[in-house]
Structure 1
Amino acid sequence: MNSPHGAAVTAEGLGLKGPRGWAFRGVTFSAAPGSLIAVEGPSGSGRTCLLLALTGRMRPSEGEASTGGLRLPRRAAAVRRVAALGAVPGVSELDPAFTVAEHLRERALLQRRFDGSLRALMRPRRERVATAGARIDTALKAAGLDTATLPKAGRTSVRDLERLEALRLSIALALIGRPRLLAVDDTDLKLSDAERAEAWELLRHLAADGTTVLAVCSQAPEDAVTVRTGATGTTDSATITGEPASPAAPALDEGTADAFAETGRA
């Protein structure tokens, strides 16, 4: 295992209230850098809200949390620079009309534009293109997506991808930014048992390489730091205390816009 460069993630009594009630409440856990963290619960239990709160995209209503030693919500902007999202409905979805290559080129361009130094931006075009290409290749390899195996290689549209391929693409896009925390929503959605095993093996590998992984799922693997939403429970590595979400609470799984309207982006 490589030395973790990932972000430690902690929460103490964390809760988030939307316009229709509590999305989640009483979340308490601690995970070391390079951990695989599984946010387990049924759809509508506040799983995605918790993911977005811990990555600095939503402002919690109560409690304390930190990601990579950065306190939330006060340091939310800094957290967003070290935490990358996979595909999240209503927030960072893949465009079904884009091809795989278009998505990758766009993400590499945005990464260079917003995160690159002025010196990097002034480099010769050939050098910039080579650097972007190397980042893309590294991210694709880490995500286990070989574009040559797709129906039209890089020209394959997102709408033509299998669910596991789309998941791998969203992870590759997030990894282009070399995040300390990778957040993946709906990890096991619409996957067969074999595909689910592949997805978790990929996330384990990324965590073993040092990146902290935060994954929303309906059923967590036994070796993950498991945080349960919608029910009180404990594991050896993590604890949920407090109460489940109100039946009327809007989780982002089902109502991103409503929750954002109430809580705002941090």
Structure 2
Amino acid sequence: MDSTPHGAAVTATGFGVKGPRGWAFRDIDITAGPGSLIVVQGPSGSGRTCLLLALTGRMKSAAGTAEVGGLPLPKKRAAVRSVTALAHVPGVAELDPALTVGEHLRERALLQGRFGGSVRALLRPRRERRTEARALVDTALAAAGLDPEALPKGIRTSVRDLERLEALRLSVALALIGGPRLLAVDDTDLKLSDGERAAAWALLRGLAAAGTTVLAVCSEPPENGEGVVLVHTGARPERHTPKGASGASPATTEATAPTEATDLADTAHAPAITDATDAPDTTDEQDSNEAANADKAATATKAAEDSTAGKHDGPDDEEGAADALAEAGRA
């Protein structure tokens, strides 16, 4: 494994995923160093979400080779999942519209504190753990460019009341709490205006510049393609080829058009915790309730991952993932 402290290098050669209805994508070649912005462009149904899930260890590949941070896929899928995070992947990692911004942040901080560190860390005084959790949340919010106080109801604002760009920033902030080496964002430019799209790309460029490798799925790549590693799924577009400041085209790699391609998804994600509060400090009884809820969420997550991504790596796993996503209307 490489020794880069932050971003993970990503390489792929002849990489592909195949499901019961044919290839989702194939013949993908990627070479991206740590801290790169990797942009996956393609029409809906071309396998771009499959590529995102496969490169983050959530889906088993069927052809070629790939490495993330020096970890080979699909052999080290569990290890790759531990150093990557998903943001805004429908059906896998998405916001609950019924919860508030504060509840989402608290849930994620609880899970990170209980399951993201060492056993020794859990033995530290409660006050010290709270302080560390607040610092993680504040750092993630700052990196995502989201100021809860600027929201209509502050941290008590419901997700359903967020603007599309605000929801994207919250999803990114939640993913960053775990300190991933690679951040994967799906549908980056979906339903964004030109100004919002530019702001979203500026956010992701900033994260990459700070050292985190970013993998972003989109319909249209950023206008300024300088420094972008561009990957095509499906037929390569005939127009809108971004160029850098020097006029040179960005690095590109193209996939063969899929045969009856379908996006496959890992269905594992933790259930929402609905009894969290927005107060910054909690009583001992509230701490016990939150810890119990976090334990339940993590248990559900592990059970789902064991059933879909860890224990069944054959055709049954692929069919189950395809069926789950088909029910969500994305097949």
User: Scaled by the length of structure 1, what TM-score is found?
Assistant: 0.92
SS of residue paired to 1:133: helix
Name the aligned partner's letter for residue 83 of structure 1.
T
- Give the direction of change, closer, same or farther, for the CA distance of 1:262–1:37 in structure 2 (3 Å limit): same
List, as ranges, runs of 4+ consecutive aligned residues in structure 1 with deviation greater than 6 Å. Answer: 255-260
Tell which deviates more after alignment, 107-116 or 203-212: 107-116
SS of residue paired to 1:85: strand
Overall identity of the aligned pairs, in %: 68
Match of 1:239 among 253, 267, 271: 253
Q: How many residues align?
A: 259
- Give the direction of change, closer, same or farther, for the CA distance of 1:102–1:114 in structure 2 (3 Å limit): same
Aligned runs of 1:141-152 on 2, under 5 Å?
141-152=142-153
Q: Corresponding residue for 2:231?
A: 227
> In 2, Cα distance between the equivalents of 1:94 and 1:169?
9
Aligned runs of 1:161-172 on 2, under 5 Å?
161-172=162-173
- Give the direction of change, closer, same or farther, for the CA distance of 1:264–1:5 in structure 2 (3 Å limit): farther
Q: Any idea what the Cα deviations from partners look like across 1:128-174, whole Å, max 9, x if unmatched?
A: 11100010000000000000011111111111110000000000000
Name the aligned partner's letter for residue 118 of structure 2.
S
Q: What are the ranges of 5 or more consecutive residues in structure 2 without an aligned counterpart?
A: 242-248, 268-307, 309-314, 322-331
Aligned runs of 1:43-122 on 2, under 5 Å?
43-122=44-123
> In 2, Cα distance between the equivalents of 1:87 and 1:75?
24
Q: Any idea what the Cα deviations from partners look like across 1:224-256, whole Å, max 9, x if unmatched?
A: 110000025896523225x2112x22124xx77
Following superposition, the deviation at residue 101 of structure 1 comes to 0.5
Give the superposed CA RMSD: 2.1
Q: Corresponding residue for 2:140?
A: 139
Q: Any idea what the Cα deviations from partners look like across 1:197-221, whole Å, max 9, x if unmatched?
A: 0000000000000100000000112
SS of residue paired to 1:11: strand
Name the aligned partner's letter for residue 258 of structure 2.
A
Residues 13 and 26 of structure 1 are in contact (CA less than 8 Å); yes or no, is this contact kept in structure 2?
yes
Residues 59 and 264 of structure 1 are in contact (CA less than 8 Å); yes or no, is this contact kept in structure 2?
no
Q: Any idea what the Cα deviations from partners look like across 1:35-66, whole Å, max 9, x if unmatched?
A: 00000001111010000000000000110000
> In 2, Cα distance between the equivalents of 1:32 and 1:263?
33
Following superposition, the deviation at residue 4 of structure 1 comes to 7.0
User: Scaled by the length of structure 2, what TM-score is found?
Assistant: 0.74
Q: What are the ranges of 5 or more consecutive residues in structure 1 without an aligned counterpart?
A: none
> In 2, Cα distance between the equivalents of 1:184 and 1:262?
22
Following superposition, the deviation at residue 29 of structure 1 comes to 1.4
Q: Greater relative contact order (Cα 8 A, min sep 6): structure 1 or 2?
A: 1
Residues 30 and 238 of structure 1 are in contact (CA less than 8 Å); yes or no, is this contact kept in structure 2?
no
> In 2, Cα distance between the equivalents of 1:208 and 1:192?
24
Counterpart check, 1:181 vs 2:237: no
Q: Corresponding residue for 2:328?
A: none
> In 1, Cα distance between the equivalents of 2:93 and 2:110?
16
Match of 1:249 among 261, 264, 272: 261
Following superposition, the deviation at residue 119 of structure 1 comes to 1.4
> In 2, Cα distance between the equivalents of 1:190 and 1:62?
33
